[in-house]
Structures are given as structure tokens and as C-alpha cells.
Amino acid sequence: MRFLHAADIHLDSPLRGLRARAGERAEEIAGAPRAAFVRLIDFVIEQKIELLLLAGDNWDGGHTDYGSLLFFADQMARLNREGVRVVMIQGNHDAENQLRLTMPTNVKMLSNRAPRTELFEDLGVAIHGQSYPRRDVVENLAAKYPAAVPGMLNIGLLHTAVTGYAGAHRSYAPCTIQDLRDKSYDYWALGHVHARTELNRDPWIVYPGNLQARFLSEAGEKGATLVTVRNGRINEVEHVPLDMVRWATVNVDVAGCTTQDQLAGMLQERLRDAMNAAGGRTVAARLVLSGTTPLHFALKADADGWLEAEIERAGLDLDHLWFEQVIVATRQSGGGRVADSDVVSEVERTVERIRANTQERTLLAGQIKEVIDKLVPSLAELVGQGPDGEVLDPDAILDATLNDARDILLGRLTGSS
Ligand SMILES: [Mn+2]
């Protein structure tokens, strides 16, 4: 008997900031959670897997129409036709959503009022679980889960922030590893934390991670966890990649490059490596150029648009590549081509004066915020982070902006490129 454990599918995450930036790639990238879900259903059918467990946050909270739920129900119907059973719970996101839709008869959505047990005698499996009744569940749900059923393989289905593993995720339905061990189940199918994590092996306590990354903070391989049961015992637990778009930071250290041709060659090589690592998927890449190079000022200023064009060309050549952002974080090596050292030191002094002056900082921060507010609905979306993602430091943004302003100005002054 095999079951597939997935979580945090987040169907139809809004990704408004991304839609504005991704151009013709927007539909593909924003649609990736749906595409990955279809792939998951394909996998279950092809592999003849008996049981699918979904550990919450199946769709997002903000939907105002039934599109996502109809899509979901349609995929469940595909499984129903193949005789595949599904047990699922609601997490904080789907509990927040007020929309409800009748699912095909193969789908058991566990109650949000009390934990209950779903028995599959023919499979020898007992599944214990509870849905969230609302978004902000602060009590320990696991504490009230039923005792293990003797003679069955016992699985706990739970959307939770396990103490020490929640990271930036909100501390909903918190519990400890010991709370879970104390239930004497064989496997805990968790959801909520988006990074795949095996918390324990006897019994198994697993976050499969989200099915499809939506932001750079969810970089790397995403998928579900396939569990094989033999003679009523867990025999094998393996990660199955099922994502359609891979998010990645591509770091290119250009320290060895002294000419544009060398840099272009290195760029192409690193991007090709990143594409190969993604195994043919579309890659949403943040490209970071780093290292000390005599090309620094020229890269920063990019007065004639060479770097931008070279990056675009690399993207065309590789297909299936979208640049989420390009960050030039190089440093100027000694003997740069700046002719007038008086001008250089004047620029540097001015930047440092602004940096050290509280009044000037406040003024500049206000101007930056004004621009950002005009460009995107929220600052978080600008940098492609989710609501549970990293917190932005306004001081760090200001300092980075000052550094960029200084280097771009020096680049322009050198007249090189
Ligand atoms: Mn969640």
C-alpha cells in the first residue's frame, strides 16, 4: 500500500506584484500551483497510489469566486474515477475562505469541530485529523487527537507550527515533537511549513513542503512525500519533485573577468547550469553578480544597456528562463578607469554625508516609499516575498539605494562601458 502526502498547495495564490513584473511569463508562473497540482494528480493515477493525504492550505483565503474550488473538485473527480481515496483537512488559509463546495464522494474533508478518525479497513489504515475552524487557531489541536487504533497503521493529519520548526510561519495550532510522539502513531502528515522537513523517523513526522514555490524565499525543489507500507509498517519514505517552475538564486562571481566577453561567457555558463539543475522546468531566477572586478562601475551604470541586453540574450537562448530580478553586487577593483579623483571623492563624501544624517535619511526614505507605493500595491510583493516571508529592513533598503546611487554616478562619470 502506498500513500502520497502533500500540503500547502495554495491554489491560485494572487501574486499581484509578480503579474506586473513577469510580462508574458506571468501566466505560467502564477499558474504554476495549478499546473503542479495537475501533475500530482497525474502521478497518483500513473503510479496507482491508493490514498492521497492533503494537510491543509489547499487554496488561498482571499478568493471571492468558486474558480479555485471548482478546479480542485474537478481534479478530485479524476481520482474518483480511478478509485483513489482522498483525506484532507483545512489549514489557516482555507479556513479563512468562506466558500464551500461539495466534493466527489472519494474525498473526506475532516471536521473542523473535533478531531475524528477515518478508518480504511481494506487498507489497514486509520487517519486521525481535524480541520481549522478559523484562521487563527492558537490551541494545540494534536493534544486532543484520538488514541492509536490497535492493529492499524495510524496516521495523524495536522496543520501545525511545530515548536522549533515554524521559521517565519505563524505559530498556529502549535505543538512539540514530543506531543506527536506521545500519540504512538506511525506517521504524522503535517502541513503549514513550506520547507520540506523530516522532524523525526520513529515515528515519522514530516512536512512535505509546499507543492509549488511561489516566491524566491521558497527556492529549490518542491513536491510531495511518497510513503510505502509493507506488512502494516512504514517501509519507505521518499520525496517526489512535482513542481513546474523552479525558483533559484543564480550567483555569478565575476571576479576573474576583466572583459565583457569573459563576463558574458561566464553568465551563459552559470545560467545553463541552473537550467540543467531544474531538469527542464521553467526557472524563475534572481541573478546576482558578485566579486571584485574592474568592470564594476560599467556594470552598475550600464550606460548603453549592454548588460541588460546580454542578460536578455542569455534568457532567449536558454528559453524557460525568467529573471525575477538582476542584482549587481560587484565591487570595483583597484585601478578603475575613473580619471578625476577629486570628482570621485566628492561623490563618495556626499553619499556618506547623506548616510550619516538623520534628516537626509528620513527625506530620502520618504521619497523611496513614494516611488514604491506608486509601482506596487505592497512593498512585500515588490521583492517577491509572501506574507509569511522575510521582513524587510527599511534601513538596509536605504543603504543599498545609496550604494547604488554612488556606483551608478561613478560609472557614468568614468564614461566607460
Ligand atoms: Mn498554513
Whole-angstrom Cα distance, residue 395 to residue 127? 49
Whole-angstrom Cα distance, residue 89 to residue 342? 67
CA angle centred on 360, ends 359 and 364, rounded to 5° = 120
Ligand 1 centre to CA of 144 (Å) is 20
Whether residue 345 is predicted with pLDDT greater than 90 in this model: the reply is no
Residue scoring higher pLDDT (249 or 393) = 249
* pLDDT class of 392 with cuts at 50, 70, 90: low
pLDDT (0 to 100) of residue 40: 98
Mean pLDDT of the chain: 88
Ligand 1 centre to CA of 226 (Å) is 21
Residue scoring higher pLDDT (388 or 265) = 265
pTM of the predicted protein model: 0.84
Long-range residue pairs from 338-341, CB within 8 A, at least 24 positions apart, any chain: 338/297, 338/410, 338/413, 338/414, 339/414, 340/413
Summarize the confidence of residues 93-106 as an average pLDDT: 91
Whether residue 64 is predicted with pLDDT greater than 90 in this model: the reply is no
Ligand 1 centre to CA of 160 (Å) is 8
Whole-angstrom Cα distance, residue 225 to residue 196? 9
Name the 3-class secondary structure at 63. Answer: coil
* pLDDT class of 73 with cuts at 50, 70, 90: very high
Query: pLDDT by residue (tens digit) across 190-226?
Result: 999 999 999 999 999 999 999 999 888 888 899 999 9
Q: Which residues of 318-332 are buried (b: 16+ CB within 10 A; e: fewer)?
A: beebbbbeeebebeb
Ligand 1 centre to CA of 229 (Å) is 27
pLDDT (0 to 100) of residue 249: 92
Domain ranges of the chain: 2-241, 244-336, 338-417
Ligand 1 centre to CA of 17 (Å) is 21
Ligand 1 centre to CA of 193 (Å) is 7
Ligand 1 centre to CA of 337 (Å) is 53
Ligand 1 centre to CA of 220 (Å) is 19
Ligand 1 centre to CA of 58 (Å) is 9
410 CA to centre of own chain: 36
Residue scoring higher pLDDT (151 or 394) = 151
Query: pLDDT by residue (tens digit) across 164-181?
Result: 998 888 899 999 999 999
Residue scoring higher pLDDT (298 or 85) = 85
Ligand 1 centre to CA of 255 (Å) is 42
Ligand 1 centre to CA of 169 (Å) is 7
Ligand 1 centre to CA of 339 (Å) is 56
Q: What is the C-alpha R_g of the chain?
A: 25
Topology of domain 2-241, per CATH? Purple Acid Phosphatase; chain A, domain 2 (3.60.21)
pLDDT (0 to 100) of residue 388: 40
Ligand 1 centre to CA of 5 (Å) is 15
Summarize the confidence of residues 282-298 as an average pLDDT: 91
Q: Is 190 exposed, middle or buried (0-12, 13-18, 19+ CB in 10 A)?
A: buried
